[in-house]
Amino acid sequence: MTNLIRNSSFTQQKSITKHSSKADCYSIFNLLTSDVLLDKVEALLPAHRERHFPPTETLAMFITQALSADRSCQNIVNQTALYRLTGGLRPCSVFTGGYCQARQRLPLTMVSELTRFLAEQIDAHVPNAWRWKGRQVRIVDRTTISMPDTVNNQSSYPQQANQAEGLGFPLCRVLGVTCLSSGALLNAAVGRYQGKGGDERTLLRSIQNMFQRGEIILGDALFATYFFMAEMQLKGVDLLMEQQGQRRKSTDFRKGQKLGVRDHLIILQKPKHRPQWMSESDYADAPACIQLREFKVSGKVMITTMLSPKIASKTELKLLYKKRWHVALDIRDIKEIMGMNILSCKTPEMIVKEIWVYLLAYNLIRLMMAQSVLLAGITPREISFKHCLQLWLSWRQQHLILDDKQLGLLFTIMAQQRVGKRPDRVEPRAVKRRPKPFPLLTKPRKIAKFEITARLN
């Protein structure tokens, strides 16, 4: 077994060395220092005067802070002060006020647009072999994130309604669109978990203009709404989703145009009542009906706008939809491995900025992974995200500047750690380790502290 691993590693390194001899072998990674990216960063920079924490350095510190085990502002300011001291630069104060003000001045548009720009650049370099029948596949999914319990956060992102005041934490919902081929996050929308305007469908509508002709969208039944599917069909975007519950109950494969066993074409009529979010003109312009393909496979009723079984068979669509699981792994990478599951900022404005900083860092890792696998002749889904993140953090902490040869070695190390192939894996959604025997807080912390003090006195 040991010899097999060594031989595999040697073959992989030989492949990377071979690819490295090409002039454009670092085309993706060099985007970080290319004129294209530098021009983009320059265009997004706000008007500023020379300070200890200019926008670009503040953004770099913010990213490092978000990915650190100790995410305090004091920790990142201390690190920066030591780095400047050892580098022979003018020392800066270790007080956090200047850095906190610099983070507040950092434009949200700079972080979010840079995140999307990186994704676009990765997407532009995706080889045709990574695509599904030469087409790009987009996966849509959502998650929730907790944040500090402050008055401002509660106002913008209320806690769950079934929790007593003072006992819950503010929650926000994040909807993301990732690329199946590269894993890059193409776009995201942030909204409140509780209340109007933050549900998944509303968030998806806010960014649906991002989808381009020829793309395929994978999503669960929640997104299979009439007006979204009609809009995507008009744009030439295909969908593959589970059928919604109410429609699934009325599914009858004896009706419609039969294509095969439990596979037919159906016609959906436009809802008679206009949704509140939709204008009268948009409702009138929406098509009176749309044609969809409905089929049943592995106990699931699916719908798709890919109508021809010759172009996309049931088996092919089944295997494609199973790959939607990758978005759950992408969300896990961002929330659990990178640490975005519990945010640390105290105001709603900084909360949104913190989310986009995490997403920017995620795309930076995906950029390095894309370069690594291109050289190794594999795909991004075959190597470990956590392994690449650890290498990137070590690189950042040591402030290393690598030449082309050293970069090749870095990419070799990245491509070595493969993920296991575990088809149809099943794991219980339960924890084995028992929690500490502390009671839950059942009253606001201020009241609980007052009662303890009263008893002691």
pTM beyond 0.85, yes or no: yes
Q: List the chain domain ranges.
A: 2-108+367-416, 110-330
What's 110-330's CATH class?
Answer: alpha beta
DSSP letter for each residue of 169-214: --EEEEEEEEETTT--EEEEEEEESSSTT-SHHHHHHHHGGG--TT
- pLDDT attached to residue 146: 96
Instruction: Output the pLDDT for position 275.
Output: 93
User: Would you list the DSSP string of 360-387?
Assistant: HHHHHHHHHHHHHHHHHTS-GGGB-HHH
Amino acid at 281: S
Sign of the Cα torsion 98, 100, 103, 104 reads negative
Residue-level pLDDT at 3: 41
pLDDT value, residue 394: 80
Question: pLDDT for 372-407, tens place per residue?
Answer: 888 888 889 999 999 888 888 787 666 666 666 777
pLDDT of residue 434: 87
Sheet hosting strand 257-260, strand order edge to edge = 185-192, 171-179, 137-146, 216-219, 238-242, 300-304, 289-297, 263-269, 257-260
Contact, 190 vs 174, CB < 8 A?
A: yes
> How many residues are there in the chain?
457
Res 38: pLDDT: 66
Alpha carbons 428 and 242: distance in angstroms, whole number: 23
CA dist 241 and 221 (Å) reads 6
Cα 318 to its chain centre, rounded Å, is 24
Low-confidence ranges of the chain (pLDDT < 70): 1-38, 47-51, 396-404, 422
CA distance 185 to 123: 10
Buried b (16+ CB within 10 A) or exposed e, 357-366: bbbbbbbbbb
Could you tell me the end-to-end alpha-carbon distance of the chain, in angstroms, rounded to an integer? Answer: 67
